[in-house]
Structure 1
């Protein structure tokens, strides 16, 4: 999508969060700053809730730092060093190992004094990808800066966090939203965008999202951008399985041609912009491959897919494991 994402332009405030328990818990974290673990399934609104907390807690946006763990652990050192969010921390430090780069960025982010108020908030998003050695370093940073920095850890798998971190954090569980809650999120957004829509279109997109708020919002935006309105028919045309299959075929062709950067860009578009989850993409990739491959090649693909499927089921990074599969296909 070239237009601004509706997930950003219509980000909720604390009062707008659909789950009362999450509203209350994050509200307490504003009034009495504490370290927090926000956990729940993908697309349940964890990141949106933390951003709402930061907006309510801080007058300056510079007092909120968002670090996506996947941005570190799935990227090469050069990519991290050249990322505009991190390069100011890493000038002249090219000889650092990747682990030391990550630790340095975290320490520097936590050590800055708040611009306004008495504390800053640092979100570590997609924290199921955090290795244990990094968690030990994180624990030490949390101890050193506990007076001036509030740490929020968002994850699909809180059990992967080491006990010393869990013991320093207040738990905020976020369940998958109900169908009616997703409808309640979509309606004010499409009304604010002043687009033509009907109730059946909203219901279709909410069902298509399967409890993933981000996917629902991006699905509605995709439908409006492609079809000009949001009805059941236009949503079906824009979001039907054929649309995913075409993009997966494009991604597969790029991988098989050795164009890994192009294949990974399509993968990122599907995961981030279009809101698909790794399981859906893997299923469609296998479906497409069965029509193109046979014998030993197809058996090898199924072996690789089985390994990736297990990793996805354990809640680790969809991007890392699907990108690995694409790289193996290119080889």
Structure 2
């Protein structure tokens, strides 16, 4: 095995874009913010979209390019709203920072006469905190701009969303992601074959941050030569052969065989929620199942996934999904009993 690579810096930070222009696959956002850099006129911002698509990176880049390294700490307040999410934070830390006026900046950077408050994971803020924040935005809009970052815009109250310029960050295309991964591999001296690259793209699901983290974890564990199996090993996904054995057991129509496979899966410690996710993808892409069979299996998967979130037993939910999948594939009519 090749020697382990030793580095003290996370590659996610090492290869984070430092300028707005370097953010990949978000052309509309980049074009608008570049104009902002030229004019120095920044509205309140709301970035939303899937994780790992560049929302936080873009917010930090625009702040650094507006104020430069000398004024960044005094002009920019970064908060993770999943931790600082209560109304007390809005009334103290945020309000105190927003109320202080600032003067002109140093030469070499636009340095507009306002500050920026970056609220990451803003969809985790309570509704009371968001309502309190609305008044703060109105009062101090001349000296402070807000940048909200979230995954789900539906969890941001309408009065806040309507005060912001909204930008949706799109999931990264596979060619964009693979290009960035290949660049990192070249810089770090890694050897990934095409199968490993394809596997990395599949397990990361459009999340570039997750892909880079998996890549670094694999490099630390397996050295500079990384295979598809190595990527699967560090990503925590269930191997394809485990899922295939479960599906084949369900197709056989023998409950004892399906029960044996479920027992082995639980004994090996595979996360059942991940199995449900991969089984859903398999069902949707299957050409051997009818639309009715797919609907029955997916409906039960959704119910079981909700039960897992509510704290149900993994073994019972997996055996239930397996038995219902077996019934659907055997075209046995579903009988419902109401109590």
TM-score normalised by structure 2 residue count: 0.61
| 2:22 matches 1:11 | no
C-alpha distance in 2 between matches for 1:61 and 1:24: 23
| 2:139 matches 1:144 | yes
Give how far 1:2 is off. Answer: 8.4
C-alpha distance in 1 between matches for 2:175 and 2:203: 13
Give how far 1:212 is off. Answer: 0.9
C-alpha distance in 1 between matches for 2:311 and 2:8: 32
| 2:164 matches 1:166 | no
Give how far 1:39 is off. Answer: 0.8
* Aligned partner (choices 223, 237, 257) of residue 241 of structure 1: 237
Match of 1:188 in 2: 183
The DSSP-based 3-state class of the residue aligned with 1:71 is: coil
Match of 1:246 in 2: none
C-alpha distance in 2 between matches for 1:282 and 1:68: 30
Q: Which runs of 5+ in 2 are unaligned?
A: 1-5, 106-110, 240-269, 278-303, 313-339
Larger Rg: 2
C-alpha distance in 2 between matches for 1:108 and 1:213: 35
Match of 2:250 in 1: none
C-alpha distance in 2 between matches for 1:203 and 1:56: 35
| 2:92 matches 1:104 | yes
Give how far 1:161 is off. Answer: 2.1
Q: Any idea what the Cα deviations from partners look like across 1:159-190, whole Å, max 9, x if unmatched?
A: 22222222211011111111112112222223
Q: Any idea what the Cα deviations from partners look like across 1:140-164, whole Å, max 9, x if unmatched?
A: 2112221222211111221222222
Q: Any idea what the Cα deviations from partners look like across 1:175-227, whole Å, max 9, x if unmatched?
A: 11111121122222232333344444333212210111111111111111111
1:286–1:231 Cα change, 3 Å:
closer
1:191–1:149 Cα change, 3 Å:
farther
| 2:210 matches 1:215 | yes
Native 8 Å contact 2:52 2:209 kept in 1: yes
1:101–1:238 Cα change, 3 Å:
closer
Give how far 1:11 is off. Answer: 0.9
State the aligned residue count. 236
Give how far 1:109 is off. Answer: 2.7
C-alpha distance in 2 between matches for 1:128 and 1:282: 27
Match of 1:176 in 2: 171
Native 8 Å contact 2:119 2:148 kept in 1: yes
The DSSP-based 3-state class of the residue aligned with 2:116 is: strand
Native 8 Å contact 1:200 1:231 kept in 2: no
* Aligned partner (choices 269, 283, 302) of residue 273 of structure 2: 283
* Aligned partner (choices 219, 226, 233) of residue 221 of structure 2: 226
1:148–1:222 Cα change, 3 Å:
same
Q: Any idea what the Cα deviations from partners look like across 1:292-321, whole Å, max 9, x if unmatched?
A: xxxxxxxxx987634479xxxxxxxxxxxx
| 2:117 matches 1:127 | no
C-alpha distance in 2 between matches for 1:197 and 1:302: 34
Native 8 Å contact 1:227 1:238 kept in 2: no
1:114–1:199 Cα change, 3 Å:
farther
Q: Which runs of 5+ in 1 are unaligned?
A: 74-97, 244-279, 288-300, 310-331
C-alpha distance in 2 between matches for 1:230 and 1:121: 43
Native 8 Å contact 2:238 2:274 kept in 1: no
1:304–1:108 Cα change, 3 Å:
farther
